[in-house]
Structure 1
Amino acid sequence: MALLPSSVLAGCTGWQSAFDAQGASAISIKQLMVLMVVICSVVWALVIAVLIRALWRGREQVERSIGPDPVIERRTARVVVAAVTATVIVLAVFTVVSFFTTRALTLAGHDDLTIKVRGQQWWWGLEYLGPTPDERFETANEIHIPVGRNVRLQLEGIDVIHSLWVPGLAGKQDLIPGRRNELTLRAERPGAYRGQCSEFCGLQHAHMALLVIAEQQETFDQWMRSQRERATDPSDAEIAAGQQVFLSRPCAACHAIRGTSATGTNGPDLTHVGGRRYIAAGLLETTRGSLAAWISDPQTLKPGNNMPMVALSADELRSVSAYLASLK
């Protein structure tokens, strides 16, 4: 399991606990787990009680050297039949309840907010879909959703099998290359809910986290409007110099920044990277310093990731980190 700094823990609701359910799907899963635990506990207690009684009666029969009693034999047969019948009923109840709980994970309407989620080694690519091209935009590693509304996630694996799990809001669903699965999220109250990849996907599997940020509809609409905008123009000389460094180096071949000539698709969209809480899929808080550290040596921070080292001078590193931090 990936571990994040204490500051991340403080900002999250329901830290990695399926029992702190704040979404419709998560509540259904929690109720199913509680039901199974209660029934299985009762069954276990009954089995232990019958076992103790049988051992005790068997001991008495041995001490008295008494042969099988027909009455006891018939009573035992009835107990066995009742136990088998109860087992069948319990399994049938578990099957039916599990079916409807699993079905609830993908229930969605035609007017639901739809987000395409792409799992890659080792980050989450997100595309908010809309009826027209100008309403669509891309981001990474941070899902914003409105409170009290179903959100349909279209899940795709780009390289290997991943699995998305946000314990406080829903169950797990795999992202498989060549196949599209769906998962429905619904948050009943505002908060930041931590999610992660729950299917081993390579060296940095433990560092493939994301945040689902549930907001009131007005706040969410404002965030959507800002995300559709192009990147802000440089506001001072250092930031302008950083933009030139970014566009003239291999950065622009892998990343996209809308409103500039950077249109790469191999890495996360950085149009509003400075406004995200974390970078590198939850590895570091988004500060100018962490951006500089990541750019200067991504392989030390996250060995095996697909971002190459780019040779920059100290001045270039300072300016490009200032530029990225300004993209909010």
Structure 2
Amino acid sequence: MKRLVPLLLIVTLALAGCQGWQSALDAHGPAAHTLANMFWIFVAVLGTVWFLTMAALLLALRRRRPVDADPLVTDPGTEKRMTMTISVAIGLTLVTVITFTGLSYAAQKVLYSHKDGALTLLVTGQQWWWEVTYEDEQPSRVFTTANEIHIPVGEPVLIKLEASDVIHSFWIPNLTGKMDAIPGRQNQIQIQADRPGLYRGQCAEFCGLQHAHMGIVVIADTREDFERWRDHQVSSAIAPNDPERQRGMEIFLSRPCIMCHQVRGTDAGGKVAPDLTHVGSRRTIGAGTLTTTRGNIAAWIVDPHGVKPGVNMPTIQLEPDEVQPLASYLEGLK
């Protein structure tokens, strides 16, 4: 039964890749393809080594010495064959290690090489969310969002990685390998999606209590769809025109929310928490913790620590009749 464990693990990983889960084996980018190919080469070679080792062990166990044989007497022919066998095994081991080293070096060259691309992002790891700034030569085209990255299909995108507090690790398994985000230092990695789709990522370096709830998602769109999305993100928030959302906006601007959050086009200019200008258009809140609905936004406002214990967002004291207008206002920031 124990011998089946490695095989079952391989089959499980393979099925994960085939089913499109968050898996490095379901590759949709140049770097991810390189890593997936290297994984399967390692599995094939190491599986062969394991099989040969088990076969040699079984043969050794089946070999019997005569009961009256002198254990100190050796057979020259047998000794010669064993010496040759061990020499060949050592040689093959050396070749395997050198080959693996070369493959790893080649994979790292692909992973860390940067092609010319039109899009550059600054991604900053926070406890426990991702700040994403779309850079542009025109300052008016620069904007910031959170936990959700949109990229055009088939184009390389340069990611500049930083961290504001502790070490984080940026990892989109389907598109590329891991890269650490380290305070006081900027690392770079490039991603590229070969086809449209949604690719989930995760912080891969333990960074505190809510490390497991520090997700990020990459949405690969056609160039036309991406440009429409970016043009909308650059714009300021649209002022609400219905009474409930107008009251929600008044509540938002009169509470401590504006000390941490920014909503472009209003007096809210906080920089220490996610930019909420278009928060209603994002798929999730809390870095993938909850889907973006009015009810979930209300639950997050009322008790953020009940949803995500240890989160840095303080509990805001609101009157019972203020929660729904505020949630409605935020949910409407599309």
Alignment TM-score, normalising by the size of structure 1: 0.92
Partner residue, 2:8: none
1:75 CA drift (Å): 2.0
- Distance across 1 between alignment mates of 2:21 and 2:234: 30
Question: What RMSD over aligned residues (CA atoms) do the two structures have, in Å?
Answer: 1.6
- The question of 1:114 aligning with 2:129 is answered no
Question: CA distance change for structure 1 residues 129 and 89 in 2, over 3 Å: closer, same or farther?
Answer: same
- The question of 1:270 aligning with 2:270 is answered no
* 1:297-327, Cα deviation, whole Å (9 max, x unpaired): 1111111111111111123222111111111
- The question of 1:317 aligning with 2:323 is answered yes
Partner residue, 2:4: none
- Distance across 1 between alignment mates of 2:253 and 2:111: 42
1:161 CA drift (Å): 1.0
Matches within 5 A, 1:138-153: 138-153=144-159
Letter in 1 for 2:176: A
Partner residue, 1:9: none
- Distance across 2 between alignment mates of 1:201 and 1:266: 18
- Distance across 2 between alignment mates of 1:245 and 1:214: 36
Letter in 2 for 1:60: R
Task: Say whether the 8 Å CA contact 2:172–2:202 is kept in structure 1.
Answer: yes
Partner residue, 1:287: 293
1:49 CA drift (Å): 2.0
Partner residue, 1:60: 65
2:143 is aligned, of 137, 140, 158, to: 137
Question: CA distance change for structure 1 residues 313 and 35 in 2, over 3 Å: closer, same or farther?
Answer: same
Matches within 5 A, 1:17-166: 17-57=23-63, 59-60=64-65, 64-65=69-70, 67-166=73-172
Task: Say whether the 8 Å CA contact 2:116–2:156 is kept in structure 1.
Answer: no
Question: CA distance change for structure 1 residues 235 and 29 in 2, over 3 Å: closer, same or farther?
Answer: same
- Distance across 2 between alignment mates of 1:56 and 1:65: 19
Question: CA distance change for structure 1 residues 155 and 61 in 2, over 3 Å: closer, same or farther?
Answer: farther
Task: Say whether the 8 Å CA contact 1:21–1:27 is kept in structure 2.
Answer: yes
* 1:247-302, Cα deviation, whole Å (9 max, x unpaired): 11110110011111111011000010000010000111111111111111111111
- Distance across 2 between alignment mates of 1:132 and 1:175: 26
Alignment TM-score, normalising by the size of structure 2: 0.90
Question: CA distance change for structure 1 residues 106 and 112 in 2, over 3 Å: closer, same or farther?
Answer: farther
Task: Say whether the 8 Å CA contact 2:117–2:158 is kept in structure 1.
Answer: no
Q: For structure 2, which runs of at least 5 residues remain unmatched after alignment?
A: 1-18
Partner residue, 1:220: 226
Partner residue, 1:170: 176
Task: Say whether the 8 Å CA contact 2:34–2:107 is kept in structure 1.
Answer: yes
Task: Say whether the 8 Å CA contact 1:14–1:193 is kept in structure 2.
Answer: no
Letter in 2 for 1:273: V
1:154 CA drift (Å): 0.9
Range with greater deviation from structure 2 (90-99 or 60-69): 60-69
Letter in 2 for 1:327: L
SS of corresponding position for 1:144: strand
SS of corresponding position for 1:18: coil
Question: CA distance change for structure 1 residues 259 and 80 in 2, over 3 Å: closer, same or farther?
Answer: same
- Distance across 1 between alignment mates of 2:128 and 2:227: 29
* 1:93-133, Cα deviation, whole Å (9 max, x unpaired): 11111112122222222434111111111111100111121
1:48 CA drift (Å): 2.1
Task: Say whether the 8 Å CA contact 1:14–1:21 is kept in structure 2.
Answer: no
- Aligned length in residues: 315
Q: Which of 1 and 2 has higher RCO (CA within 8 Å, sep 6+)?
A: 1
- Distance across 2 between alignment mates of 1:212 and 1:245: 32
- Distance across 2 between alignment mates of 1:265 and 1:68: 79
- Distance across 1 between alignment mates of 2:94 and 2:68: 36
SS of corresponding position for 2:131: strand
- The question of 1:237 aligning with 2:249 is answered no
Task: Say whether the 8 Å CA contact 2:28–2:193 is kept in structure 1.
Answer: yes
* 1:56-103, Cα deviation, whole Å (9 max, x unpaired): 44x236665583122222222121111111111111111111112122
SS of corresponding position for 2:65: helix
